[in-house]
């Protein structure tokens, strides 16, 4: 859900938020400012056909720093480097260069064997310029956009709107979840990778309860027409 629609939806529920006089003609800058403030207080969730919740506040990460929630290259531990081809291969290449500088007489076969056997320990113990170069490799990788097809399982809580909703309700007050009929699903069958939060109450009923209790959370049907947000709802 884009920011303008998000604000229209909240306004239709009578949410107490600061809005431009006319959302339809407001500038992108005005919408961004209003959205940033509204998202600090209000949560809006889209409800799918099979009850799955998507975080309407959510915006897809544009870098791996955002997707993985990392603030610095040092947040990437050695196991992540070891198990990620995009990180391990450049580090191996770096170690190969290091070995050739230290022992230029090494033949290709011996060089390949030593790189495979020793690169991980070298990576852990690297210092000075070598450590700086490894950090650059990691920083370049984290600065790129993530690949959902290959990496989704590693950052499912932060990589899409469904995962963000799941993560949000892992930390929610049990009283609110019980009252609204929200259930967290961690694999709906053996071997399943389905992690989600689901709304087991009708959308209208959940919104009515939330309004009565003063909770700053609302729900809309997934794909609902924007025109609906130009009308005041019953609740």
pLDDT at position 157 over 90: no
Whether 111 is covered by a domain: the verdict is yes
pLDDT given at position 191:
60
Q: How many domains does the chain have?
A: 2
pLDDT given at position 231:
41
Q: Are 13 and 235 in contact (CB under 8 A)?
A: yes
Q: Are 73 and 62 in contact (CB under 8 A)?
A: no
The pLDDT tens digits for 106-131 are: 999 999 999 999 999 999 999 999 99
pLDDT at position 96 over 50: yes
Which residue range forms the structural domain that includes residue 198?
3-60+160-230
Cα angle: 192, vertex 205, 203; to 5 degrees: 45
pLDDT given at position 153:
67
pLDDT at position 25 over 70: yes
Q: Residue 117 burial (CB < 10 Å; 0-12/13-18/19+)?
A: exposed
pLDDT given at position 14:
83
Whether 200 is covered by a domain: the verdict is yes
The arithmetic mean of pLDDT across residues 85-96, rounded, is 95
Domain limit, last residue, from 117, 143, 169: 143
**Range with lowest mean pLDDT among 29-33, 100-104, 176-180, 224-228:** 224-228
The arithmetic mean of pLDDT across residues 158-174, rounded, is 86
147 φ/ψ sector (left φ>0, alpha ψ -120 to 50, else beta)? beta
pLDDT at position 187 over 80: no
Tell me the two tokens of residue 184: 């967290």
Domain limit, last residue, from 111, 143, 175: 143
Whether 151 is covered by a domain: the verdict is no
Shared domain check, 68 and 46: no
Tell me, yes or no, if the pTM score tops 0.75: no
Shared domain check, 103 and 69: yes
The pLDDT tens digits for 2-13 are: 888 889 888 888
Give the confidence band of 233 by pLDDT, cuts at 50, 70, 90: very low
Computed over every residue of the chain, the mean pLDDT equals 87
Give the confidence band of 139 by pLDDT, cuts at 50, 70, 90: very high
pLDDT at position 226 over 60: no
Shared domain check, 98 and 209: no
The arithmetic mean of pLDDT across residues 182-189, rounded, is 84
pLDDT given at position 186:
85
Whether 218 is covered by a domain: the verdict is yes
pLDDT at position 85 over 60: yes
The arithmetic mean of pLDDT across residues 173-181, rounded, is 95
**Range with lowest mean pLDDT among 65-69, 104-108, 206-210, 217-221:** 65-69
pLDDT at position 227 over 50: no
Closest CA to 11 of 230, 225, 213, 224: 230
Whether 9 is covered by a domain: the verdict is yes
Shared domain check, 136 and 73: yes
pLDDT at position 162 over 50: yes
* DSSP-derived pairing of the beta strands 53-55 and 43-47: antiparallel
């Amino acid at each position: 859900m884009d920011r303008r629609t998000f604000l229209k939806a909240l306004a239709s529920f009578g949410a107490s938020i600061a809005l431009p006089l006319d959302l339809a003609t407001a500038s992108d800058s005005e919408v961004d400012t209003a959205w940033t403030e509204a998202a600090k207080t209000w949560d809006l969730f889209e409800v799918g056909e099979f009850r799955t919740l998507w975080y309407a506040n959510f915006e897809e990460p544009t870098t791996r720093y955002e997707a993985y929630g990392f603030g610095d290259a040092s947040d990437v531990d050695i196991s992540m480097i070891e198990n990620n081809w995009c990180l391990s291969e450049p580090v191996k290449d770096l170690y190969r260069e290091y070995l050739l500088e230290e022992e230029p007489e090494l033949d290709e076969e011996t060089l390949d064997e030593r790189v495979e056997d020793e690169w991980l320990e070298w990576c852990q113990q690297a210092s000075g310029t070598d450590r700086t170069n490894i950090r650059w490799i990691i920083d370049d990788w984290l600065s790129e956009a993530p690949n959902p097809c290959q990496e989704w399982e590693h950052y499912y809580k932060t990589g899409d709107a469904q995962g963000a909703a799941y993560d949000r309700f892992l930390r929610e007050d049990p009283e609110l979840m019980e009252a609204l009929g929200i259930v967290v699903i961690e694999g709906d069958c053996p071997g399943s990778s389905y992690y989600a939060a689901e709304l087991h109450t009708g959308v209208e009923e959940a919104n009515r309860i939330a309004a009565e209790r003063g909770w700053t959370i609302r729900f809309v049907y997934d794909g609902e027409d924007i025109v609906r947000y130009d009308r005041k709802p019953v609740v």
